[in-house]
Amino acid sequence: MPQYIPSPRDWVREQVELYESSGGTKGTTLRDTGLPVILVTHTGNKTGAVRKTPLMRVKDGDRYVLVGSQGGAPKDPVWVHNLRADPRVELRDETVVRPMRVREVKDAEERTRLWSIGPQLRDDLAHRTARG
């Protein structure tokens, strides 16, 4: 069984611990924003270790959209590289935990449609566009 390596970022590590220790009843919003989050458990592409990442909950019907924007940073977050290497994940949405498989959206039309789903995505896209 691969070893779990907690995030080096305090707020991420603490949110994951709270979310999991409560069975998904606490720690379900992104810090002080009030935006709902899910936990994505995945495999580190370099270490093979278990990693856990809280992400904004964005849904497209019954599907989840994992947004790898890192707040508009020019580089993808590390977890995106992990999912490209191994698309198998476990997704926890509050008290519901399920295995899933991710796919990267490369079609421009589909990406545009997904960006339009929530105001937080539109705001992030505007921020990224403004930065170049």
Residue 127 lies in a domain: no
Residue 113 lies in a domain: no
User: Does the pLDDT value for residue 20 go beyond 70?
Assistant: yes
Higher pLDDT pick, 83 / 118: 83
- Report angle CA 80, 92, 18 to the nearest 5 degrees: 100
Where does the pLDDT of residue 130 fall: very low under 50, low under 70, confident under 90, or very high at 90 and above?
very low
**What is the radius of gyration, based on Cα positions, of the chain?**
15
Number of domains in the chain: 1
Which residue carries 């070893």 as its tokens? 3
pLDDT per position as a tens digit, 59-106: 999 999 998 877 677 899 999 999 999 999 999 999 999 999 999 999
Structure tokens at 76: 């993808």
Q: Which single residue is written with the structure tokens 């992990």?
A: 82
Residue 21 resides in a domain: yes
Could you tell me if residue 37 is inside a domain? yes
- In this predicted structure, what is the pLDDT of residue 119? 59
- Which has the higher per-residue pLDDT, 22 or 114? 22
Asked whether 112 and 65 are in contact (CB, 8 A), the reply is: no
With respect to residue 42, please indicate whether it lies within any of the assigned structural domains: yes
Mean pLDDT of 7-24: 96
